[in-house]
Amino acid sequence: MSRPVLPVKPSVTHPPLSEDIRQVLTNAPGALPMTLNELMQRTHGRGIFLVIILLSLPFIAPIGLAGLSNVLGCVIMLLALRLALGLPPRLPRFMGDRPLPTQRLEKIARGSVKFLQVIEKWVRPRQTQWMTWTSARRGNALLLAFMAFLLALPIPPLILFSNTLPSYAIILLAASMMEEDGVLIWFGYAMSLATVIYLAVVADAIVRFFAKHFDRILHFFQSWL
């Protein structure tokens, strides 16, 4: 007796995000989104991952960017927390609702399409069923928020990779969540773990250094008072 063949459910029903953005540009050339919040709304909320990736790109270089990482890290963390809580994806008004020049926004959008097309060559829906679970989506969003918190820490730029590792973790997590890639997400987990271990080792080294040279450091500052 032959076993009944179960129908295979499609893993993902939505088109790639780059196609969503291209449709926004081609179908409404005279009504381009004037803010990043409108861009996220017109891409059915999936543009939140695009914005998170774009905000992480300035930190892929080994040298940290003091000040900028604090601000953008907080913005990414806020977006990730809203995603974890199931709230509408929106940026703070000072950034998300500020009108941008049409030409500049069009360049950003078109450049984003090209960038996403590169990412989509590596990211694709694979083993995605568990990625759609509410608990998995919230857990991944909270991990994304934690990586953004580490990016926002006021770490001196002299410490190499303090911004790079969190930014790569954020990009991998956001790209995997964007296309519901259940394979690449594990690379995001590995990068997140590497980030935590690296920063923990750096913090331990700093604490040990100050504990060992506390008297000298105290004497140095007292000499300037």
Q: Mean pLDDT over residues 181-208, rounded?
A: 91
| Predicted local confidence at residue 166, as pLDDT | 94
- Number of neighbours of residue 46 by Cβ within 10 angstroms: 18
Q: Mean pLDDT for the chain?
A: 77
Q: Do 151 and 76 form a contact (C-beta atoms < 8 A)? A: yes
Q: Mean pLDDT over residues 70-96, rounded?
A: 87
- Residue 77: name the closest of 69, 177, 134 by CA: 69
109: pLDDT strictly greater than 70: no
Two structure tokens written together for 43: 């891409």
| SS3 of residue 129 by DSSP | coil
Q: Mean pLDDT over residues 28-53, rounded?
A: 70
| SS3 of residue 150 by DSSP | helix
The 10s digit of each residue's pLDDT in 53-64 is 888 877 877 766
**pLDDT-based confidence at residue 3 (cuts at 50, 70, 90):** very low
Q: Do 170 and 148 form a contact (C-beta atoms < 8 A)? A: yes
- Residue 151: name the closest of 136, 173, 134 by CA: 173
| Predicted local confidence at residue 21, as pLDDT | 64
Domain boundaries, the chain: 17-224
